[in-house]
Amino acid sequence: MAAPGAAEQRWLREAQDFARRALPGPDGQEPAALEAVLRCLRSAGSGALPLGYSFISISDLQHQQRIPCCSHLTWSTNEFREWAHQGQGALPTQTTLPRTYLILVGCITDGRQENKEKLVDGCLYVKDNTGIIPCELLHFELEWLESLFLFPSWSYIPQTNQSAAGYLEILEDPVPVNVPKKVLHSIPATYPTSAEPLLTSRIPCRKRSKLTVAGELVRLGPLLCVRHKTFFFLFLKCFTSAVCVPVLVQEPSQLAWHHVLQLGHRYTITGLSISSLKKSGQKTFVTGVPSCLLPYCAEHVREQPLNSTWQGESTQSSSLETAEQLSGSLELGFEEERPRSTKESKIISYVGVVTKILNVQAGLFLLDNQVCLCLAYLPVLKSARGLRPGACVELIDVHLLQKPLVSFPFIVLGACLSSTVVLKRFSRLSTPYQPPTSSGNLCLQLLFRYHLGMPLYLWLVSLLETFEERFSCFFGRRRLLSCTHQNPGAAEKFLVPLLQAMVPDREKARDIYNEILAKVHHCPLQKYLTLDPPCQAPSLSAVCHVAQQKSWEGFSPSQLLSPLEAQHMGTQDLNRRLVWSYCTLSAGSFQPRLILLGVLRVSSRSSLLQLQDKSSTLPCVISQKDGSPFANTALIGSLLQVENYQLVVERFLQTDFPSWEHLENLEHVREKKTSVYVQFYFEDVQVLHAAEGQLQKGLRSENSSSLRKKKDDNVTPELEAPEAKVLKLEDPKSDTHRDENCQGGQSSTGTTSCVSHLFLVTQKEGLMLRNYQLPREEDGEGQELQRSFQATVLWLGRPQLWSHPREIGNLPELEDTSCDGEEGVTQQEALLLFMGKSLRWFPFLHQDGLYRFIVPCCSDLEVFDKLCFPPVPATFLTRPSCPLCLPVQDTWHLQHETWISCLPERQLATRMVLTGMDQRIFSIPEVLSSSFTGSLVSFSGEIVERTLCASPKNEKPSTTVRLPRQKGNLLASDHSVKLSVSVAPGSPVVVDIYITATYLQHLWGLLPGAKILFQNLERKISRFHNVYCTYIACSCVSIISLPASHLLFPSSPAGEASSPSLVFLSNLRPHLQNLPRARILCHLSCVLTVYLQWVCSLCSSIFKEGRCTRHNPPCPSHTGVRQASARVLVEDGTGEAVVLCRNEHVAAMLGLSLLEWEALQNCVQSRGSMSIQHGEATGTGCLEEPEDLVACYLRSLCRSPLICRPILLDFSLDRKPSKILQPAPLQLRNFRCAEVEFVSQVGPRLSLLCLNVEEVEQDALRYLNSERIRRTSSYC
Ligand SMILES: [Zn+2]
Ligand SMILES: [Zn+2]
């Protein structure tokens, strides 16, 4: 048959081709080599050539094979199947290695002939003429080196990352192509028992004498590389005793021994000398160039007695620490928890299968799905070749750590320098190979720099893993984790301070020789303490989740109301009070302490500053401790770390509680929502990674903003220290980074040049939907309302051309004018329109700030003029000075320069020109004063109280407060918020500011305790002549200071000041408008009215005998609320006032105990309501039956002289006094004193609101009276 012959010939032709290309040997000798290879193949295949297989060269393997594969020359399909099946044991879901039909022939080498010394690193390679590839063998003989082999069974594992080549796993012993020569010598050898004293004796070693030592290999140290020198230690034990000696192997040609040596086998090593280590002085045997490693063979070795000069004085033997052997059958139960006590790690041996690579950079592998193997403490974690999932490893003398880190789920086996890690079986699975990066491995660098124990190391690894996961998508892994000393990467900046805090006193450097050689084992893994991590830096989505959870933890609606208040509230009032609340969390509110990390971004959609990581974003509010607004545009894109912050969770509840009695029943909570944001000071920020090219600018802005003085201060900029000005105006010439906007080209100057224009913001308006129709836009699109904001600015100077963004100097526009003394900088007003992407500048643009627009990659100085257009069609334009509109383009960059108040003297000319623009900031008393005339006001103050109000049209009853909401806003749009703002904490002067919910979605950080600068509020006067302010479109707020931390958990919802000041009624007039709370010692002269009622909680109709009395339409309510009110007359000798009391204060005023009051109110329930009026002449509202006992009781109580008594009254001014009870100014009144009646002229009665009533004891009365007299006299 010709066919097989033809196939064979074709195959042979290919084989010849291959031999010519790949087989080693000088030209012309390939046929001989090929013959030998074919001979080998024939004998392996019992005479036949493997025609189904083809030869592969090393280079083809490396370049053509992309996935892991294996090849088994002689196996049948069934044999392969069984082999593959067995390998799946621990990982049944993984696929096995696919089989290829390839013949691999090559030399095994340790790299010594590659004429690169570097390559001799203890690794073995397979090479042919086309290339060289690392290989791993489970069994190796020294004679194999530099011989040609046929590999019958092997796997090729390419590297996951395509940039470097993979490696070979040699599954079966290679078959020598040529018959090897075997040489056996009979050599004299010394046994460890007699050799050991040489190492302990003090006799100086003779360098010349060489020794041969034979023994059993009991320990094999790892290959170490210190200062570019690779070496390892081995330990030979006497056959008959436990005495053993160390041998240092360091000749490059001998590093391959590491692959030969097998524990428990007997060896002879020749040519040893004794050397003492520099650092510790420990002595060890050292191999020399001519040293040989020979298998021990009793016949060939004869004992060599040591001559007398070698003899030491003592021959005492010492034994190695006996290791606890728990191989395989490791008990995996945890020890009972003994936190805070140092634990001793056990030393064990273990055989297991790698089931997962936990973190190859950190040297963490999971064995048998339950134990973590840590190889980090071996200084070289070189390749991790062979450690793929599915591989079986034997660990000898590793440390067992039960629970090194609270949050770490596995038991840890830590390999130290005296441990041995042996690969027992290669993986049969198609799992990839991830090589660890040897240089710049931050984990390992920090481990060695700080001598970390296992608990701290594992914690470090987990921090780093999270860090990398969160931020490598922004900055790239390499930049984030780089760890050069001059320029530490972000990860190092973050981790090093944490480690320094944990390892304050660094132990002395690790002595690895001592760790290996010392008789008593000493290493960093011996003792450990279970670590409770001191801090955490979880992803932002986790932060938000935990914060929300915490905000509802232990939350009950009753916390938001004082019970005294709540029991008299109708349904609507009650539920509205629950709608909006907040809680604040700090780093310490979390366990462990929570560190916030995030990239600062501005959302052009929401115009909010936010911290961002891969998982989520967190809105943030940044304030500056000097009170100036945050305007640092250079910080955008930087990675920030904040440890001192307030995480605010705003809670939004939809409830339908019928009354306060149901507050504990959470079924009435219909909906719970939260929004989370964080606020912090710029000064508390640490920049871990500055945005490209903006570091220098950032530092400069920081300086200038801290120089800003508040307007109220009398320090004028002229008085500032001159050094400060110089510092601020120094140009960062050293800025070497390129601006991000000009990434495109750098070769031609045309593309890198940019145009800038300086301006001053004179007014900024709020974000809202505006009806802008840009002239260049096609109609149709322009019809939609645009979310936008606008700012009125004053251009300063002319636009400037710069060859590169980094050339931009400091305010040369202002310098020019001061030089030539010309009047008036080119001053031109403009209205900037921010829409679309440019909305991102909203948080940075503030009134009185000097900013610059930078138009990147532009050289047209008229770029700004070209885009301007009149705000209204020219035909409607009446004012010639009307500012032109300029839509801000998406690509423009905004840069904050300084504040107008910070301009130094030499730029003062400009300052003078601009002072007119400088808006006045008033004080709260000025705003409240009746002589004030302005309608737009700006002032600063501290928020005392934040309450949610409903607009009047919304007061109609409904069972649930379910109202339409605007998108993105969790408050119903017809709600508004009332902020009570005072000059300073505890100050009686308070102004109320109303902000509707529409504006609130852009206003964050308006919390009680925060000091806020309000700008351009509208000042209004109520019908009761009270002054208040409203937030309008052109208003804006900036946070001057965050709430103090003690205010973060408001204990009582009311939160009033402790003891109000004692005043006289006559003193009250001057501050009529603004007294939140004061106290008088007064005499209750008479009770004018008392009104008790039982009202429906829904519709406020009278509630009688358990149901609502409203019939048309019928009211479904089953809940009534008790309400009481009274008006009493008091006088304190200087004046008279009507006091309105409500609910529980009525009882106090009438002097009733709680029980009596309860009984009285219960009596009202059957009647619905009851009223008593002084004199009872008109009889209005008197519904009582003549024989009504309760009414009689109440009436006699009110008329009783006993009720007229001294009381201490806390009150506020009634801002909405009833007109009926308000007498006209200056009226004549009758007074009766005993028998005498007289008429006197009195001023108008004050109308007061009772806040608290206290009885006065006699002693206290005497004291208070004397106090009054003292103060009255001091008045005169
Ligand atoms: Zn150890
Ligand atoms: Zn009703």
Residue 708 confidence (pLDDT) above 70: no
**Tokens representing residue 485 in the block:** 């000393």
Residue indicated by tokens 């009481």: 1124
The answer for 76, left when phi > 0, alpha when psi is -120 to 50, beta otherwise, is: beta
User: Residue 181's pLDDT band (boundaries 50, 70, 90)?
Assistant: low
pLDDT, position 881: 61
**Tokens representing residue 1061 in the block:** 């000041």
Q: Which of 376-380, 537-541, 685-689 has the lowest mean pLDDT?
A: 376-380
Strand duo 1246-1255 + 1136-1142: pairing: parallel
Contacts 24+ apart (CB under 8 A), 915-921: 917/760, 917/762, 917/794, 918/711, 918/848, 919/762, 919/763, 919/847, 919/848, 919/1015, 920/711, 921/711, 921/712, 921/1013
Ligand (nearest to CA of 1108): 2
Residue 933 confidence (pLDDT) above 60: yes
Cα(287) to centroid(ligand 1), Å: 25
Beta strands in 848-915 (DSSP E): 849-855, 884-887, 893-899
User: Residue 393's pLDDT band (boundaries 50, 70, 90)?
Assistant: very high
pLDDT higher at 1230 or 898: 898
Residue 640 confidence (pLDDT) above 60: yes
Strand duo 244-249 + 283-287: pairing: parallel
Q: Give per-residue pLDDT as tens, 230-245.
A: 888 999 988 888 888 8
Q: Give per-residue pLDDT as tens, 1029-1052.
A: 999 888 888 888 888 864 444 433
Cα(377) to centroid(ligand 1), Å: 9
User: Residue 186's pLDDT band (boundaries 50, 70, 90)?
Assistant: low
Ligand (nearest to CA of 1103): 2
**Tokens representing residue 95 in the block:** 């696929």
pLDDT, position 102: 93
User: Residue 354's pLDDT band (boundaries 50, 70, 90)?
Assistant: very high
CB 54 within 8 A of CB 101: yes
Cα(356) to centroid(ligand 2), Å: 68
Return d(Cα 664, Cα 227) in angstroms, integer. 71
User: Residue 707's pLDDT band (boundaries 50, 70, 90)?
Assistant: very low
**Tokens representing residue 421 in the block:** 């890690």
Q: Which of 77-86, 608-617, 687-696, 1082-1091 has the lowest mean pLDDT?
A: 687-696
Cα(1181) to centroid(ligand 2), Å: 20
Beta strands in 910-1043 (DSSP E): 936-950, 975-982, 990-996, 1011-1021, 1027-1030, 1036-1041
Ligand (nearest to CA of 523): 1
Q: Give per-residue pLDDT as tens, 113-138.
A: 665 555 677 888 998 888 889 999 99
pLDDT, position 862: 81
Residue 6 confidence (pLDDT) above 50: yes
Cα(1163) to centroid(ligand 2), Å: 20
Ligand (nearest to CA of 516): 1
Residue 993 confidence (pLDDT) above 50: yes
Cα(1148) to centroid(ligand 2), Å: 29
Q: Which of 256-260, 482-486, 763-767, 832-836 has the lowest mean pLDDT?
A: 482-486
Q: Work out the angle at residue 44's Cα, subtended by the Cα atoms of residues 38 and 47, and round it to the nearest 5 degrees.
A: 70
Return d(Cα 1244, Cα 211) in angstroms, integer. 120
Return d(Cα 390, Cα 973) in angstroms, integer. 61
**3-class secondary-structure state, position 39:** helix
pLDDT, position 1181: 46
Span 189-198, average pLDDT: 73
pLDDT higher at 894 or 1055: 894
Please name the amino acid found at residue 1021: I
Cα(1098) to centroid(ligand 2), Å: 5
Cα(434) to centroid(ligand 1), Å: 27
Return the top range by mean pLDDT from 68-82, 516-530, 977-991: 68-82
Task: For residue 596, give every residue at least 6 positions away whose Cβ sits within 8 Å of its Cβ, in sequence order, or none.
Answer: 537, 543, 587, 611, 618, 640, 641, 642, 643, 645, 647, 678, 680
Span 486-506, average pLDDT: 83
Residue 162 confidence (pLDDT) above 50: yes
User: Residue 505's pLDDT band (boundaries 50, 70, 90)?
Assistant: low
User: Residue 642's pLDDT band (boundaries 50, 70, 90)?
Assistant: very high
Cα(1216) to centroid(ligand 2), Å: 26
Ligand (nearest to CA of 221): 1
Q: Which of 104-108, 378-382, 1264-1268 has the lowest mean pLDDT?
A: 378-382
pLDDT, position 769: 76
Span 642-666, average pLDDT: 88
pLDDT > 90: percent of the chain: 17
Cα(328) to centroid(ligand 1), Å: 19
User: Residue 1235's pLDDT band (boundaries 50, 70, 90)?
Assistant: low
Cα(572) to centroid(ligand 2), Å: 12
Distances from the Cα of 13 to the Cα of 9, 20, 101, 1001, angstroms: 6, 11, 18, 80
Q: Which of 510-519, 721-730, 809-818, 1078-1087 has the lowest mean pLDDT?
A: 721-730
pLDDT, position 1233: 52
Return d(Cα 513, Cα 672) in angstroms, integer. 63
pLDDT, position 972: 73
Of 646, 649, 668, the C-alpha closest to 578 is 668
Question: Any bridge partners for residue 269, and if so which?
Answer: 213, 293
User: Residue 99's pLDDT band (boundaries 50, 70, 90)?
Assistant: very high
Distances from the Cα of 90 to the Cα of 86, 353, 369, angstroms: 10, 7, 8
pLDDT, position 802: 79
Cα(335) to centroid(ligand 1), Å: 20
Task: For residue 76, give every residue at least 6 positions away whose Cβ sits within 8 Å of its Cβ, in sequence order, or none.
Answer: none
pLDDT, position 731: 33
Ligand (nearest to CA of 1120): 2
Strand duo 371-374 + 411-414: pairing: parallel
Of 387, 446, 449, 450, the C-alpha closest to 415 is 387
- The full DSSP string for 391-404 is -EEEEEEEEEES-S
Residue 367 confidence (pLDDT) above 90: yes
State which residues have CB under 5 angstroms from ligand 1, the bound ion.
416, 523, 525
Ligand (nearest to CA of 415): 1
Q: Which of 451-465, 536-550, 625-639, 949-963 has the lowest mean pLDDT?
A: 949-963
pLDDT > 70: percent of the chain: 74
pLDDT, position 411: 92
Alpha-carbon dihedral 910, 913, 916, 919, rounded to 10 degrees: -10
pLDDT higher at 196 or 417: 417
Ligand (nearest to CA of 397): 1
Q: Give per-residue pLDDT as tens, 589-639.
A: 888 899 999 999 998 888 889 999 999 999 999 999 888 889 988 899 999
Cα(80) to centroid(ligand 1), Å: 41
pLDDT, position 694: 42
Phi, psi of 817 (to 5 degrees): -70, -35
- To which H or E segment does residue 912 belong? helix 908-915
Residue indicated by tokens 């490893």: 393
Q: Count other C-beta atoms under 10 Å from residue 903's C-beta.
A: 23
pLDDT higher at 331 or 872: 872
Task: For residue 631, give every residue at least 6 positions away whose Cβ sits within 8 Å of its Cβ, in sequence order, or none.
Answer: 701, 705, 844, 845, 846, 849, 851, 896
Cα(353) to centroid(ligand 1), Å: 22
- To which H or E segment does residue 766 belong? none
> Cis omega (within 30 of 0) on the bond before 174?
no
Residue 287 confidence (pLDDT) above 80: yes
Span 1002-1011, average pLDDT: 87
Of 624, 619, 616, the C-alpha closest to 608 is 619
Ligand (nearest to CA of 1101): 2
Cα(952) to centroid(ligand 2), Å: 19
Residue 1068 confidence (pLDDT) above 90: no
State the DSSP code for 1070: G
User: Residue 702's pLDDT band (boundaries 50, 70, 90)?
Assistant: very low
Return d(Cα 1140, Cα 865) in angstroms, integer. 64
Span 143-156, average pLDDT: 90
Ligand (nearest to CA of 527): 1
Cα(527) to centroid(ligand 1), Å: 10
CB 864 within 8 A of CB 799: yes
Cα(197) to centroid(ligand 1), Å: 25
pLDDT, position 72: 93
pLDDT, position 1076: 65
Cα(421) to centroid(ligand 1), Å: 13
User: Residue 806's pLDDT band (boundaries 50, 70, 90)?
Assistant: low
Cα(346) to centroid(ligand 1), Å: 10
Cα(959) to centroid(ligand 2), Å: 11
CB 617 within 8 A of CB 664: no
Residue 1193 confidence (pLDDT) above 90: no
Give the predicted TM-score (pTM) of the model: 0.78
Span 410-437, average pLDDT: 87
CB 710 within 8 A of CB 647: no
Return the top range by mean pLDDT from 567-571, 1081-1085, 1172-1176: 1081-1085
pLDDT, position 170: 94
Strand duo 69-72 + 99-100: pairing: parallel
Cα(1096) to centroid(ligand 2), Å: 5
User: Residue 736's pLDDT band (boundaries 50, 70, 90)?
Assistant: very low
The rounded mean pLDDT for the chain is 77
pLDDT, position 251: 86
**Cβ-count burial of 418 within 10 angstroms (0-12 exposed, 13-18 middle, 19+ buried)?**
buried
CB 404 within 8 A of CB 530: yes
User: Residue 808's pLDDT band (boundaries 50, 70, 90)?
Assistant: low
